[in-house]
Amino acid sequence: MSRAKTTIERAYGATLAEAWALWTTAAGLEAWWGPEGFAVTVTHLDLRPGGELRYVMTAVGAEQIEFMRKAGMPLAHDARVVFREVEPERRLVYVHDVDFVPGVPTYQVETIVELRATATGVLLTLQLDAMHDELWTARATAGWHSELGKLARVIDAARAAG
């Protein structure tokens, strides 16, 4: 089944190596992955085509905890990603199990991450599959904007620390 795609671009003041490490290491992912109000703990990371990323995402912010409870969703969720393509410092393609929406059978969404060096740092392009409906696609897109803001703060803090 072919799904609509959403594309998000964002520039960062980082090197390709720095940006790549934030996308492909447990410490890097734990520093920014997940929207505001959520914390992530990586439990397994096998960075190769066919390899998996497994993590627990936990609602920690008051608003997020309230939303999860009202939606009948658990505060912590074990998540699974399977890598399809891994091109160091350039491209990641992975599928993520969507198994957390009440009343919706499990399905997968694909994400394509592309990094390109620029004169001032790195240009990140994300291509995201639409979810099962417009509301959840909008939520996923808003979540990614939140996450990418967290990523920017992690990069800025690392730069400031020297």
92-110 per-position pLDDT tens digit: 999 999 988 888 999 999 9
Tell me the domain boundaries of the chain.
Answer: 5-157
The CATH class of 5-157 is alpha beta
Burial 128-149, CB ≥16 within 10 A → b, else e: bbbbeeeeebeebbeebebbbe
Strand pairing report for 38-45 and 52-59? antiparallel
53 vs 140 pLDDT, higher one: 53
pTM of the model: 0.91
pLDDT band at 64 (very low <50, low <70, confident <90, very high): very high
Per-residue pLDDT tens digits for 5-60: 999 999 999 999 999 999 999 999 999 999 999 999 999 999 999 999 999 999 99
| Model pLDDT, residue 102 | 85
Question: pLDDT grade, residue 1 (50/70/90)?
Answer: low
The pairing of beta strand 38-45 with beta strand 121-129: unpaired
Q: Of 67-71, 107-111, 117-121, which gets the smallest average pLDDT?
A: 67-71
Q: Is pLDDT at 2 greater than 70 in this prediction?
A: no
